[in-house]
Structure formats: C-alpha cells, structure tokens
Amino acid sequence: MSRPGPSATATAPGPCLVEGRGELSRAVTDALRSGRPPAYDPEPVLRADPLGEDLQLALYLLYELHYRGFEDVDDAREWDPDLLQLRQTLEGRFLHTLHTELSDGPSSAEAAFALLLVEPVDPSGSLSRYLETEGGLWQLREYAALRSLYHLKEADPHAWVIPRLTGRAKAAMAAIEYDEFGAGRPDRIHARLFADLMTDLALDPTYGRYLDLAPAPLLATVNLMSLFGLHRALRGALVGHFACVEVTSSPGSRRMANAMRRCGAGPAAEHFYAEHVTADAVHEQVVRHEVIGGLLADEPALEPDIAFGCAATVLLEDRLADHIRRAWNQGHTALRTPLSDP
C-alpha cells in the first residue's frame, strides 16, 4: 500500500526530530523522515532493555505524534498502522516490565496512597530536599531542562481521561484540568508558567528543545502518562498516576520554590512552584475524594488499576531521582550532555 510522503499533507509546527539511540529508535526516525514504514527486525525488540535508551526514545517519538508531532513529518503518520503496530509491541515490553517490578505492589487505592500522604521523617533521599538545601543553580537548570519534556505539555496527557469518565469523577477531573490550563487565562496555563521559569533560568523554552539531552529514566516517566492516557483500558491507571502526582506535588513544590529563591533563579522560576503549592494542595483533596471516589463508585473493578498507576509512578520517579543524584554526587551532569553556560 502506498503511503503519503512527508509533504503530502499539512505538517504540524512541532519540534525537530532527534537522532536515534539504537536500532529501534533509528527505525522510527528513519520512517518519520522518509514517510515509509519502520524497518526493523523482531529480534532487537525482544533484546532491547524495556527501560533503556533505545526503546524509551522510540516510544517517546511515537507518542509525540499524538501531541504536536514533528517538523516536516506528515500529521497523518499519527495513525499510520505500521507505526502503531511497532508502538503496541514496545508498549507490551514496557507494561510487562512494570507489572513484573510491581508484582508485590499494592492492590487497593488506600494502600497505594497511604505512604504518600505522610511526609517522611528523614527526607534525605528527596531530590527536592537536596535542591532546597544544597543544590546549585546549575543543578536547578538541569532539573528544569529534564522536566521540560512534561511541563511544557503539563496536564495534556491527563485530559485524555475526561471522556472516559462519568458523573462525579468527570466533573472533578474537568475542574482540576481547568485550573491546570489557566482557568481561562492563557498567561496562567501551567505550561506557559514553566516556559517563563525556563527563561528565568536562561534555558530555551521551545517545546521539545531538550529531548536529545534527556536520558531514559526521564523519558520513561513521560512515556508512562502517555501510555496510560492513550488507552481507554488503562483509564484507572491514568487516574492513579494523576492522583499520585497531585498528592506529592504541594510539599515538593514548596521545597522547589525555596530552592529557586535561595539560588536567585528569578521571580518566574519561583512563581511556577509557588503556584503549585496552593493549587495542588486543593487538587489533592479533589482528586482523592471526587475523582478516585467517583470512579470507584462507578467502576469498583478498576481499583487495582488505580493502585498500579500510583505504584508505577513512584517506581519510575524513584529511578529518575536515583539517576540524577548518582550523577550529581559524582560531579557529573544528569543529562546526556551538559547544558551550555547561561
């Protein structure tokens, strides 16, 4: 079957494609550039590390077709059956690994969130605590560059769950998303606030700018919410993911606001996190009692999925924090290559 080339239809004003990091991600980039199906052998898919650079970048590139796409890539490739088939295979490896890692994980929402609702007595392992008390401006810049892959599309993947909810859960989720998208004011959209933070830190706020510098542990955290968001069958897991983010956001944001203030990062950098201290404290209550409560009232069988979404989020965030702290403790960049000086 013939397929349209890159210029056959209008293209999205998306970011530039990055180079692949292995056989799978190179197959995706070559396919997107050429307009042809991805060329790969089944063996590399089975051999690739499910949480490694090659598979996670390939998955990220395929997911990005559902957001803003890429410069000079045909918008129609979003639903290309060959790309979707490859994505399904990669998703299967990713999900299987998560389920294996969490085989002894919580099965109830109450158990999954119990530990998140209490600040740890010894928060020395907390990345935000480290940045609040010891981190330097160069580390805040690295952290912002990493997190930009999500925060420049903040709340977008979670919006996919709204048409899959009903009644109380739907109304509460829409109310939270309304806040995330600026409550009707484009200058207050959280993604815009993060772009302002990046400007204060002398970073490029262009969408997707730091994809090539992002290591696999960061890509996995963003891929997780895209995976949950794009599958109706995983709607419970997406709610669990979203609730986990909201429950942990307020105290972490307070520490990050202090870190930005201590390092003199700038008013917009401090404001982004200060905004989340108040907003997410409210969102935490709404998402736990109304979104989760409403969803369980409608579909009680989804409780293990909600618990899985929360536990998978914690697992991947802990892996990312370990990666960052290990690099910084050795005096190295946590990025694939260092940022240029501001």
Predicted local confidence at residue 259, as pLDDT: 97
- Judge whether 167 lies within some domain: yes
Predicted local confidence at residue 116, as pLDDT: 83
Same domain (yes/no): 302, 225? yes
Percent of the chain past pLDDT 90, that is, above it, reads 85
Chain-wide mean pLDDT for the chain? 93
Contact (CB, 8 A) for 57 and 216: yes
Same domain (yes/no): 46, 141? no
Same domain (yes/no): 160, 180? yes
Q: pLDDT tens across 89-123, in order?
A: 999 999 999 999 999 999 999 999 987 876 654 44
Confidence of residue 125 (pLDDT cuts 50, 70, 90): low
Q: Report the sign of the C-alpha dihedral through residues 189, 191, 194, 195, in that order.
A: negative
Same domain (yes/no): 190, 233? yes
End-to-end CA distance of the chain: 49
Domain boundary among 75, 101, 127: 101
CATH number of the domain residue 309 falls in: 1.20.910.10
Q: pLDDT tens across 172-227, in order?
A: 999 999 999 999 999 999 999 999 999 999 999 999 999 999 999 999 999 999 99
Same domain (yes/no): 151, 56? no
Same domain (yes/no): 242, 115? yes
Q: Between residues 315 and 12, which one has the greater pLDDT?
A: 315
Burial of 100 (0-12, 13-18, 19+ CB in 10 A): exposed
pTM: 0.94
Same domain (yes/no): 127, 246? yes
- Judge whether 17 lies within some domain: no
Domain boundary among 69, 101, 133: 101
Quick one: how far is CA 43 from the chain centroid?
28
Q: pLDDT tens across 223-272, in order?
A: 999 999 999 999 999 999 999 999 888 889 999 999 999 999 999 999 99
Same domain (yes/no): 199, 310? yes
Confidence of residue 1 (pLDDT cuts 50, 70, 90): very low
CA dist., res. 121 & res. 127, Å (int): 15
Q: What tokens appear for 24 in the block?
A: 């799978």
- Judge whether 338 lies within some domain: no
Which domain covers residue 172, as residue numbers? Answer: 109-329
CA dist., res. 338 & res. 322, Å (int): 18
Same domain (yes/no): 186, 203? yes
Q: pLDDT tens across 277-331, in order?
A: 987 778 888 999 999 999 999 999 999 999 999 999 999 999 999 999 999 999 9
Predicted local confidence at residue 280, as pLDDT: 75
Same domain (yes/no): 138, 279? yes
Contact (CB, 8 A) for 142 and 215: no
- Judge whether 149 lies within some domain: yes
Contact (CB, 8 A) for 293 and 104: no
Tell me how many domains the chain contains: 2
- Judge whether 43 lies within some domain: yes
Contacts of 261 (CB under 8 A, 6+ apart): 270
- Judge whether 18 lies within some domain: no
- The DSSP call for residue 74 is B
Domain boundary among 47, 79, 101: 101
- The DSSP call for residue 7 is T
Partners of 74 in the β-ladder: 11
Same domain (yes/no): 136, 57? no
Same domain (yes/no): 30, 67? yes
